Amino acid sequence: MAEQTLKEKTAKGLFWGGLSNGVQQVLNLVFGLILARILNASDYGMVGMLAIFSAIASTIQESGFTAALTNQKEIRHEDYNAVFWFSTLTGVLFYLILFFCAPLIAAFYDKPELLGLSRVVFLGFLFGGLGIASNAYLFKALMAKERAKIDIISLSCSGIVGVTLALNGFAYYGLAIQTTTYIGVGSLLKLYFAPWKPTFCFGFRPLKDMFGFGSKLILTNIFTQISNNIFSVVLGKFYNPSQVGFYTQGQKWEGMGGALIGGMINSVAQPIFVQAVDDKERLKRVFRKMIRFGAFVSFPAMLGLAFIAEEFVFLFLGEKWLPSVPFLQLFCLWGTIGYMWILYASLLMSNGLSNEYLIGSATTGVCQFVMLFLAFKY
Summarised one tens digit per residue, pLDDT across range 131-146 is: 888 888 888 777 778 8
Percent of the chain residues past pLDDT 70, beyond the cut: 85
Per the structure, how many domains does the chain have? 1
> Which of these, 303, 278, 302, 294, lies nearest to 341 by C-alpha position?
294
Residue 14 has pLDDT above 70, yes or no: no
- Each residue's pLDDT tens digit, 163-221: 999 999 888 898 889 988 998 899 999 999 988 898 887 777 777 766 666 566 677 77
| Residue 110 vs residue 259, higher pLDDT | 110
Q: What is the DSSP letter of 196?
A: -
What is the predicted pLDDT for the residue at 1? 44
Neighbours of 77 (CB within 10 A): 14
Q: What is the pTM of this model?
A: 0.69
What is the predicted pLDDT for the residue at 358? 80
User: What is the rounded distance in angstroms from the CA atom of residue 92 to the CA atom of residue 136?
Assistant: 20
pLDDT band at 58 (very low <50, low <70, confident <90, very high): low
> Which of these, 124, 148, 133, 154, lies nearest to 55 by C-alpha position?
124
The enclosing H or E element of 11 equals: helix 2-38
Domain interval for residue 174: 2-375
- Each residue's pLDDT tens digit, 251-297: 888 877 766 667 667 666 767 787 777 788 888 888 888 888 888 88
Task: Kindly state the average pLDDT of the residues 216-231.
Answer: 73
> Which of these, 192, 154, 169, 176, lies nearest to 28 by C-alpha position?
154
Number of alpha carbons in the 13 Å side-chain half-sphere of residue 198: 24
Give the largest CA-CA distance in the chain: 62
What is the predicted pLDDT for the residue at 213? 60
What is the predicted pLDDT for the residue at 206? 72
